[in-house]
A = this chain, B = another copy of it.
Amino acid sequence: MPAPFGPFLRRQRERLRTQRGEDFSVRQVAGRAGLEPSYLSKIERALQPPPGEAAVRALARELELDPDVLLALAGKVSSDLQKVILRRPQLFAQLIRELKNQPDHAVLRVVREVRDGDW
C-alpha cells in the first residue's frame, strides 16, 4: 500500500488525454492545479510522496476524481472529516471501531438510515 497514488494519477491523466483530446499534459494539469510540472512528474512516478491536501484536491478536480478517494490513496483523511470527529471524539471513535469489521452493505445501510431519518 505504499504508493499506488502516483501511478493511479498517471493512468487517469493519460486516459483523459486520449478521451478529451489534449490539454492533459503534465504541464497543463500541473499548471491548472497550481504545481510545478516536474513536481507532478515525480509524484506520478512515485519519486515524491503524494502532495498536501490542497494539492490533492486540486488534482482530483482537474482529473475528475473523487477527492475523498484520491486523498485516501494519498494516505490522508480529509481535514473536514477530521474536524467532525474531533468535536465528538469518543462518540465517533466508538462508532468507527464498531463499523471496522462490518461489511460494506451494513455500513451503507446505516448511512441510508441516518439520511432518511425514518426512525
A residues within 8 Å of B by Cβ?
66, 68-69, 71-72, 75, 77-78, 81-82, 84-86, 88-100, 102, 104, 106-111, 113-115, 119
Residues of B contacting A71 with CB < 8 Å? 89
Interface of A is mostly: helix
Structural contact, A77 and B82, CB atoms closer than 8 A:
yes
Cα–Cα, bound, A36→B77 (Å): 31
What's the minimum C-beta distance from A46 to chain B, rounded to whole angstroms? 18
Residues of B contacting A99 with CB < 8 Å? 84, 92, 95, 114
Given contacts A81-B85, A96-B85, A96-B92, contact A110 B107 (CB under 8 A): no
Structural contact, B96 and A81, CB atoms closer than 8 A:
yes
Cα–Cα, bound, A97→B97 (Å): 17
What's the minimum C-beta distance from A78 to chain B, rounded to whole angstroms? 7
Residues of B contacting A84 with CB < 8 Å? 96-97, 99-100
